[in-house]
Structure 1
Amino acid sequence: MAKRIVTKIGDVFCVDIDNQCKRYFQYIVNDMEQLNSSVIRVFKLHYPIDYKPIIDDIVKDEVEFYAHTVLRAGIVNNAWYKVGKSKDLGGDEYMDVLFGIAQACMGDSPTNIKWVDPVENWYVWHINEPSVRIGRLTEEYRHVEMGPVMSYISIVDRLRYGHYTNKFPGY
C-alpha cells in the first residue's frame, strides 16, 4: 500500500542538486485561479550538501521565485523531501507576485472557442484573483512569473540552471 502523503501550508522542502548543493522552498498558499495548485516560494541561497537545515534561517532568506506546482508528484518521484515547517510565510509579499500564461485559444463558452496565436494572448493575475487578458506580453509585464502549474522536473531544472528549460510563447 502506498504511503499517504500529507502536505500543509508552511512545509519546507529540500532539493538535492546533483549531489553538489541543497536548495529549499516553502509551500505558502493554494491558488484557486490556477487549478487550486500549491504555490511555493523558492529561496536564493545554495547550501552545502552536508548542511543540516535550520528552518528559521532558511525562511528568512531572499525569495528567488514563486511557482505553482504539485507537491505530491515531487515527493513521490524523489525530487524533493520535507525537512520541516514554519509559520513564517513571508507575510503577504506573495500577494504582489504577478503570474502570466499564454493561451492558444479564447472564447466565451465551450462551444464558442477560436484558436489564436498564444504570443498575442497573454493573461496575468495575482494569487486568488481573476486573470486579466493583456494580449502581447510587453516590457511592462516582463517581470511576470510563469503561471502554469509546473512539473517537478521544471522546478528542479530552474533550481539547477536558474531558468526553466521549457519554452513559453512570447516570453
Structure 2
Amino acid sequence: MQKRTIIRLGDIVGTKCGDYYKYFQYVADDMTMLNSRVIRVFKEKYSLDEIPELTETVQGEIDFHAHTSIKLGIKMGLWKKIGNAPVFGEVNVIFRRSKDYTEGNKVKVSERWEVWRINEDFRYVGKLEGENRKAEIGLVKAPIGIIERMKTGKYHGYYPDFE
C-alpha cells in the first residue's frame, strides 16, 4: 500500500522535464478558486544528477504561478515532493479568467475578463489593461498542464487571449 503523502505550505516539488529538472513550491491556498493549491514555479533548470540547495532554489527567479492539485501529480508519478522551505517574499499574484471560456465558444481574443488576488473576490474589468495584462491564467490546471508550461512556456489547449 502506498504511503499517504501530506502536503504542507512551503513544500518543494520537483519534476523531470526531459533532460533537466524544474521545481515549484506550494505557496498558498486560494479560497476564491475552489480552495485550490497555488504553486510558484521557478525558472532555473537543473541537471538530472544535481541536488540543489532548497533554500536557494526557492529564492530563485519566478517563472509563473498557477493553481493545481499537488497530490494528484504525485499520485500520477509526474512529480515528487523533495522537501520544505519557508515561502520567501509576498505572494501577491494577480489571476485572470475569461467570461468567454465556455464549452463550444472559441473566442480568440476576449474583452470580458475577471481578475482577482488570492482569497479576494473576482472583479470584472472587461478589457485587460495595466498590471492586469500580467495576470496569470487562474484556472485550476491538471498536473500534466503544469509540466507542459514548465517545458514550453505555454499551456496546451484553448484559452482566450487578451490581445
* 1:33-91 deviations in Å (ceiling 9; x for gaps): 1111000001110001111131111111111111111111100111110111002x122
1:52-71 aligned at under 5 Å gives the runs 52-71=51-70
Question: Percent identity over the alignment?
Answer: 36
Deviation at 1:143, TM superposition (A): 1.1
- Larger strand percent: 1
Unaligned runs of 5+ in 2: none
2: CA distance between counterparts of 1:91 and 1:137?
A: 26
2: CA distance between counterparts of 1:27 and 1:54?
A: 17
Higher Cα Rg, which structure: 1
Deviation at 1:140, TM superposition (A): 5.3
Matched to 2:89, the amino acid is G
CA contact (8 A) 2:96 2:116 kept: yes
Matched to 2:95, the amino acid is F
Partner of 1:41: 40
Partner of 1:109: none
TM-score, normalised relative to structure 2: 0.88
Unaligned runs of 5+ in 1: 106-114
Count residues in correspondence: 157
* 1:105-158 deviations in Å (ceiling 9; x for gaps): 8xxxxxxxxx9x792421100111111011233465321101001110110001
Q: 1:100 to 1:48 in 2, by over 3 A?
A: same
> What is the alpha-carbon root mean square deviation over aligned residues?
2.0
CA contact (8 A) 2:37 2:70 kept: yes
Secondary structure, in 3 states, of the residue corresponding to 2:121?
Answer: coil
TM-score, normalised relative to structure 1: 0.84
Hey, which bits of structure 1, 4+ residues long, moved more than 4 A?
none
